[in-house]
Amino acid sequence: MRRLPVFFVLDVSESMVGENVKKLDEGLNSIIRTLRQDPHALETVYVSVIAFAGKARTIVQLIEVASFYPPKMPIGGGTSLGGALFHLMAEIDKTVVKTTLDTKGDWKPIIYLITDGKPTDSVSSAISKWKLEYANRATLVAIALGKFADIGVLKQLTEYAMILENTRDEDFKKFIAWVTDSVKSQSKSVSDTSTDNANLAKIDEAVLSLIKDSKDLRPADPDYVILTGRCQRTRLPYLMKYERNTQKVKHQDFAMDATHYMVSGCYPVGEEYFEWSDGASGQLKVNTSELLGTPGCPHCGNASAFAMCDCGGILCVNGPGIAVCPWCEKEVEFSFGAAGSEGFDVNRARG
């Protein structure tokens, strides 16, 4: 039997934490549920899931739709798109059956690459290898989630580079429906006409835009600040997410754009977060004067998830007093007070 391999290559970096990764979970579940009701898809479609943050791994091996069990999405530090592409190419070599003189192999794979940020590793060699050796062997659809993703890199990869600028629930559901319809169309195409040319569903341009020319490209913005902390009581890690916010400031003599980062949530993660992170020491810093809002701890409920030990580790506290740092295990005393309008520098994650 000739299979139609479908690879989902999904960004699970820190900037995806919260609503975006939840939508990916729900979207993948929705796609599989719908495909199971389609006779062409049941007969031909095999699905694999590759997740990437600082590292890329296959979390679901290529398997028939009827037996697919949606995985729990991890979260990690970094956005190693180059690493994800090399991993994808290795998986294609390992799992996709090639046509020989004696046997017809699998249909041309289709890949859905979904990311919301910009790469934190080098991608040039991976892109070159993809375009030279794999672009004609597979259909790659690259989707940028949100207006800050590096769509220039995606455009280098494939002619099917698209942007989902608004990730509101309604638009995201329409996007998932488009992916589902595209897989169904492709499975019907290979079943009925025995051709594996790309057969994507019609794009709703009010939701999803095809990136056509270089003039459509915009540079990636530093849209998120992610801080990694640990719960003082449970020692478990969490991620504080701040989103970029720019406001017009008008004065009698001048006007300017003022940029700061507003807290959008604090999310519990497990120790596997560090296994998915690239481990780069990096010296990325952000000053607390640029950050607005302090969330509570998602593990124990302490009032503040944002206290910093002398070792540089972030922990949660419930007010002034003695605390034991879950990073260095030393006692540190916290008291009320302000660091001054200039703030202080803290380590930020790579995003």
Cβ atoms of 77 and 350 closer than 8 Å:
yes
User: Residue 19 has what pLDDT?
Assistant: 84
**Whether residue 351 has pLDDT greater than 90:** no
Cβ atoms of 266 and 68 closer than 8 Å:
no
**DSSP class of 190:** H
Asked which of 87-96, 276-285, 294-303 is least confident by mean pLDDT, the reply is 276-285
User: Residue 217 has what pLDDT?
Assistant: 47
User: Residue 239 has what pLDDT?
Assistant: 95
Q: State the pLDDT confidence band at 218, using cuts at 50, 70 and 90.
A: very low
For CATH 3.40.50.410, the residue range(s) in the chain are 4-216
Mean pLDDT of 81-89: 96
User: Residue 313 has what pLDDT?
Assistant: 94
In one-letter notation, the amino acid at residue 312 is: G
Mean pLDDT of 294-316: 95
Cβ atoms of 320 and 303 closer than 8 Å:
no
User: Residue 216 has what pLDDT?
Assistant: 46
Measured distance CA(95)–CA(19) in Å, rounded? 32
Please choose, from the candidates 57, 60, 54, the residue with its C-alpha nearest in 3D space to the C-alpha of residue 25.
Answer: 60
**Whether residue 42 has pLDDT greater than 80:** yes
What would the pLDDT profile of 170-195 be if each residue is shown by its tens digit?
Answer: 888 999 999 999 999 988 888 766 66
User: Residue 199 has what pLDDT?
Assistant: 74
**Size of the chain, expressed as the number of residues it contains:** 351
Place of tokens 């791994």: 57
> E-strand spans in the chain?
4-11, 45-52, 56-64, 110-115, 139-145, 160-164, 209-210, 224-230, 237-250, 255-268, 285-287, 291-292, 304-308, 314-317, 321-324, 331-334, 345-347
Q: Which percentage of the chain shows pLDDT scores above 90? A: 56
In one-letter notation, the amino acid at residue 224 is: Y
What would the pLDDT profile of 313-327 be if each residue is shown by its tens digit?
Answer: 999 999 999 999 999
Which position has the higher pLDDT, 120 or 11?
Answer: 11
Mean pLDDT of 271-300: 85
User: Residue 248 has what pLDDT?
Assistant: 61
Please choose, from the candidates 38, 45, 80, the residue with its C-alpha nearest in 3D space to the C-alpha of residue 276.
Answer: 80
Asked which of 68-72, 215-219, 274-278, 288-292 is least confident by mean pLDDT, the reply is 215-219
Which position has the higher pLDDT, 343 or 138?
Answer: 138
The whole-chain average pLDDT of the chain stands at 86
Cβ atoms of 350 and 120 closer than 8 Å:
yes
User: Residue 221 has what pLDDT?
Assistant: 40
Mean pLDDT of 277-293: 78
**Whether residue 260 has pLDDT greater than 50:** yes
User: Residue 257 has what pLDDT?
Assistant: 56
CATH of 4-216 given 3.30.930.10, 3.40.50.410, 3.40.30.10, 1.20.120.1230: 3.40.50.410
Q: State the pLDDT confidence band at 341, using cuts at 50, 70 and 90.
A: low
Measured distance CA(246)–CA(260) in Å, rounded? 6
Measured distance CA(202)–CA(177) in Å, rounded? 11
Mean pLDDT of 266-282: 83
Cβ atoms of 264 and 241 closer than 8 Å:
yes
Inter-helix orientation angle 169-192/19-35, to 10°? 30
User: Residue 201 has what pLDDT?
Assistant: 81
User: Residue 347 has what pLDDT?
Assistant: 86
Specify burial of residue 283 (Cβ count, 10 A radius: 0-12, 13-18, 19+): exposed
Measured distance CA(126)–CA(285) in Å, rounded? 29
Which position has the higher pLDDT, 115 or 100?
Answer: 115
> SS3 of 175, please?
helix
